[in-house]
């Protein structure tokens, strides 16, 4: 996004940061607003190709080592929908995470609406609780976005989530990783 837009107020986003619920009840998968093309779905074109490749490698390693599937998505707009609904619909429609473990994560950035959401499957709620996700949005992602540094905010936010997941070994939760479903 051009530097001139970096001064936009992210007040609305901050209001939602405290409500950044990580997880939601099960429901039938709706038709996704975005097509799942890999671990990074950058419809808003916020990430340079080199960072996209780097993040894809990091997310593939997380899935191989720890089990959870993590997708980073950006959208041009939320199509008049609430970000909470949009993100959970993506996660469900895409089938992110193991159906048995419910261990998917979606980091969604909607720059036009100035909103960010971290959607976490119920199987990861102990590793990525709501309070932690809200803190990552509020203290890591939003400050970078306010400066117009979308790639940096996304990279550092994803890094904070990955670091938190790696702190709690899968075996200690009684979960065992399965082979990845997505190609690296």
Residue in this structure with the two tokens 């099960």, named with its chain if needed: 26
Q: By the 8 A CB rule, do 137 and 20 touch?
A: yes
Rounded Cα distance between 131 and 11, Å, is: 19
Question: Would you state the pLDDT for residue 168?
Answer: 76
Domains of the chain: 28-167 (3.10.310.50)
Residues of the chain predicted below pLDDT 50: 1-27, 29, 171-173, 175-180, 184
Q: What is the pTM of this model?
A: 0.78
- Amino acid 98: pLDDT: 87
Q: How confident is the model at residue 13, as a pLDDT?
A: 42
Give the per-residue pLDDT at 21.
Answer: 42
């Amino acid at each position: 996004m051009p530097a001139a837009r970096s001064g936009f107020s992210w007040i609305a986003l901050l209001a939602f940061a405290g409500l950044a619920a990580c997880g939601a009840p099960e429901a039938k998968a709706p038709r996704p607003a975005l097509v799942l093309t890999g671990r990074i779905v950058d419809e808003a074109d916020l990430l340079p190709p080199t960072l996209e490749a780097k993040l894809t490698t990091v997310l593939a390693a997380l899935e191989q080592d720890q089990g959870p599937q993590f997708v980073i998505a950006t959208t041009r707009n939320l199509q008049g929908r609430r970000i909470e609904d949009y993100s959970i619909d993506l996660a469900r429609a895409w089938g992110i995470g193991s159906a048995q473990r419910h261990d998917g994560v979606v980091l969604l950035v909607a720059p036009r609406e100035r909103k960010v959401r971290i959607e976490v499957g119920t199987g990861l709620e102990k590793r990525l609780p709501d309070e932690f996700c809200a803190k990552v949005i509020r203290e890591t992602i939003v400050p970078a976005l306010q400066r117009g540094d979308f790639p940096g905010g996304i990279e550092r936010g994803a890094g904070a989530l990955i670091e938190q997941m790696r702190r709690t070994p899968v075996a200690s939760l009684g979960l065992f990783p399965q082979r990845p479903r997505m190609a690296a």
